Structure 1
Amino acid sequence: MSRNYEAERAVLMDDVKQVLKDAEALYQAAVDDGTKEGKALKEKLKAQLKRAQQQFSELEDSMVDRTRQAAAQTNDLVHKNPYQAMGIAAVIGLVLGALLSRR
């Protein structure tokens, strides 16, 4: 399950990065028509693009930190209570087995 989550997260992050790259390429390719409105719009787009890239970077860092913290807490919990962890895993296995055998 963890590998699946990591794979999906990586795909999502790659998609978001590609969207930001495409938006930046669109900005670079935009024709400057020379009007004040066109220049103002281009500057506004540039500022929003920078803000989006910064927020994406912060979000990515935050997700990585939270994932590491959750993994460390889970590891500590399992090491402190190994029999409880085995019992919970067994119950989850039985429930999943029962649900899958019905189909």
Structure 2
Amino acid sequence: MNRNYEAERAALLEDVKQVLKDAEALYKAAVDDGTQEGKELKEKLKAQLHRAQQQFSELESSLVERTRQAAAHTDDLVHKNPYQAMGIAALIGLVLGALLSRNGR
């Protein structure tokens, strides 16, 4: 389940990156028709695009930091309780082995 979550999160981040890139390309390709409304709209779009890119960057940094903290916490737990960690890993391996051997029959 955790791997599925991580894969979906990574896919979502990639989708957001692509949307931001597409929006930036659209902004750059936009033709200014010379009217004041057109100039104001283009500047507003530029500001919103910049804000979205900053928010995405902050979100990505936050997610990376939380992932590092979770990994460090897990590492600490394993180092503090190595026998428990080995027991849990062995139990998970036993259950997975039993499930896989059933499917093979």
Q: Structure 1: state its 5+ residue gaps.
A: none
Aligned to 1:61: 61
Partner-residue secondary structure (3-state), 2:100: helix
TM-score (norm 1): 0.78
TM-fit CA distance, 1:9 = 5.7
Tell me, in whole angstroms, the C-alpha distance in 2 between the residues paired with 1:95 and 1:41: 60
Distance 1:32 1:81, change over 3 A: same
TM-fit CA distance, 1:10 = 5.5
Match runs of 1:23-34 below 5 Å: 23-34=23-34
Task: Look up the equivalent residue of 2:55 and give its one-letter code.
Answer: Q
TM-fit CA distance, 1:41 = 2.1
Tell me, in whole angstroms, the C-alpha distance in 1 between the residues paired with 2:26 and 2:100: 48
Aligned to 2:70: 70
TM-score (norm 2): 0.77
TM-fit CA distance, 1:93 = 1.4
TM-fit CA distance, 1:78 = 0.4
Considering only aligned residues, what root-mean-square deviation do their CA atoms show, in Å?
Answer: 2.8
Report how many residues are paired: 103
Identity of aligned residues (%): 85
Match runs of 1:1-103 below 5 Å: 12-103=12-103
Tell me, in whole angstroms, the C-alpha distance in 1 between the residues paired with 2:98 and 2:44: 57
Distance 1:86 1:37, change over 3 A: same
TM-fit CA distance, 1:12 = 4.8
TM-fit CA distance, 1:35 = 2.6
TM-fit CA distance, 1:97 = 2.2
Q: Structure 2: state its 5+ residue gaps.
A: none
Instruction: Please list the CA deviations of residues 16-65 of structure 1 after superposition, one character each: whole Å capped at 9, or x if unmatched.
Output: 33321221111011011223332232222111111110011101111111
